[in-house]
């Protein structure tokens, strides 16, 4: 199936001369949840803003459902709901009014039943007629999502959707996003909470300094780059690692009390059995051992620092 969004050779140099995007190619698949990860200033909001027609690209092209975002702006924009990173609220409007207005902007006929459903889904129904300025920060964030959904878009961009939202509400929002996906909406989210990408995404893209450095199925990414760690808590501290164990590239930690062994989690032979034999032969006893798996966060930090994997 053709991608729902197709980005080719997209570059953006701002008037200041700063290049925020540098030759970005990216396809978004129909119906997926795609997480775009990147440090501050990587170009995430710029990328989203171009696809949504808020910022003009310097070069390159974007198609939404096969149609060019410049030539067919009205069509492509109507397909997209955008939850912006910055809170923008019309203080005197009410949630219900804001949604009705938003539908109108996109030429959609009034639909109070749909508006009620969206407000209920976002736990805003009991505040539907309150002035927006009287809502809490978390409610305002949810209202941004509600507004983005007002015209029943098929693609939803969430730019840092859960910044400043408490843990419980964040879980509710994840649930809502999953339900939207089940209803056929394609979701692209940017986030600093790697936990969020790990929890939600089907695919993950990593952007750094305006370049996409990796796009991968989340599961594949975690398997490919996932390293496991075995920590052996020793019976007696070691001053240094014995030469006989050099082949295992161990690290010494906690004042010589812990030996750390790192191995690839997708390998057949982890080397643990032979390591334990070698420790035994070297007369090194341990009291306890534990293993841990690297998270998407570890992978991300490694990628941004070391660049793309070979
Ligand atoms: N209007 C502008 N004029 C000049 N430079 C800009 C403008 N907007 C953004 N930039 C710069 O472009 C770069 C990318 O910004 P962008 O907002 O796309 O990053 P981001 O990945 O969304 O970051 P964050 O995670 O902090 O939201 C930054 O260095 C930013 O300062
Ligand atoms: Mg941003």
Which pLDDT score is estimated for 112?
96
Contacts of 49 (CB under 8 A, 6+ apart): 55
Run of H or E including 296: helix 296-306
310: pLDDT confidence band, cut at 50, 70 and 90? very low
30 alpha carbon to ligand 2 midpoint, in Å? 23
209 C-alpha vs ligand 2 centroid, how far in Å? 13
CB 220 within 8 A of CB 309: no
pLDDT at 267: 61
Residue 294: pLDDT over 50: yes
Taking the alpha carbons at both ends of the chain, their separation in whole angstroms is 28
As beta bridge partners, residue 28 has 5
Question: Comparing 118-132, 261-275, 277-291, which segment has the lowest mean pLDDT?
Answer: 261-275
Please name which of 28, 38, 85, 16 lies closest in space to residue 212, comparing C-alpha atoms: 38
In this structure, which residue's CA is closest to atom 31 in ligand 1?
41
- Enter the pTM of the model: 0.80
Structure tokens at 278: 């070698």
Please enumerate in sequence order all residues whose Cβ is within 8 A of that of 8, keeping only pairs 6 or more positions apart, or say none.
25, 60, 61, 62
Residues around ligand 2, an ion, CB closer than 5 A: 44-45, 85
Is the distance from CB of 61 to CB of 9 less than 8 angstroms? Answer: yes
Domains of the chain: 5-222 (3.40.50.300), 227-293 (3.30.70.1560)
Would you state the pLDDT for residue 158? 94
The answer, yes or no, to whether any atom of ligand 1 lies below 6 A from the CB of 14, is yes
Would you say 182 and 133 are in contact if contact means Cβ atoms under 8 Å apart?
no
- How far apart, in whole angstroms, are the C-alpha atoms of residue 183 and residue 81? 15
Q: How far apart, in whole angstroms, are the C-alpha atoms of residue 227 and residue 270?
A: 11
Query: At residue 105, what are phi and psi to the nearest 5 degrees?
Result: -55, -35
């Amino acid at each position: 199936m053709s991608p729902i969004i197709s980005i080719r050779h997209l570059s953006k140099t701002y008037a200041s001369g700063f290049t925020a995007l540098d030759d970005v190619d990216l396809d978004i698949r129909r119906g997926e949840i795609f997480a775009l990860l990147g440090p501050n200033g990587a170009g995430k909001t710029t990328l989203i803003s171009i696809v949504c027609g808020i910022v003009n690209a310097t070069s390159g092209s974007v198609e939404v459902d096969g149609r060019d975002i410049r030539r067919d702006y009205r069509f492509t924009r109507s397909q997209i709901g955008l939850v912006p990173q910055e809170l923008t609220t019309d203080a005197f409007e009410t949630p219900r009014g804001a949604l009705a207005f938003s539908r109108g902007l996109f030429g959609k006929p009034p639909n109070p039943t749909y508006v009620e459903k969206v407000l209920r889904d976002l736990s805003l129904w009991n505040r539907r007629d309150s002035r927006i300025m009287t809502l809490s920060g978390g409610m305002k964030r949810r209202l941004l999502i509600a507004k983005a959904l007002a015209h029943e878009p098929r693609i939803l961009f969430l730019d840092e959707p859960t910044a400043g939202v408490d843990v419980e509400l964040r879980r509710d929002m994840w649930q809502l996003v999953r339900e939207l996906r089940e209803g056929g909406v394609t979701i692209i989210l940017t986030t600093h909470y790697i936990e969020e990408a790990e929890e939600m995404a089907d695919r993950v893209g990593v952007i750094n300094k305006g370049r996409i450095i990796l796009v991968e199925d989340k599961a594949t990414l975690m398997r490919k780059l996932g390293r496991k760690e075995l920590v052996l808590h020793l019976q007696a501290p070691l001053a240094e690692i014995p030469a006989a164990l050099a082949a295992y590239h161990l690290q010494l930690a906690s004042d010589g009390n812990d030996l750390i062994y790192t191995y690839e989690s997708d390998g057949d032979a982890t080397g643990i059995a032979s390591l334990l034999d070698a420790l035994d032969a070297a007369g090194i006893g341990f009291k306890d051992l534990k293993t841990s798996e690297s998270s998407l966060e570890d992978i991300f930090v490694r990628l941004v620092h070391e660049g793309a994997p070979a």
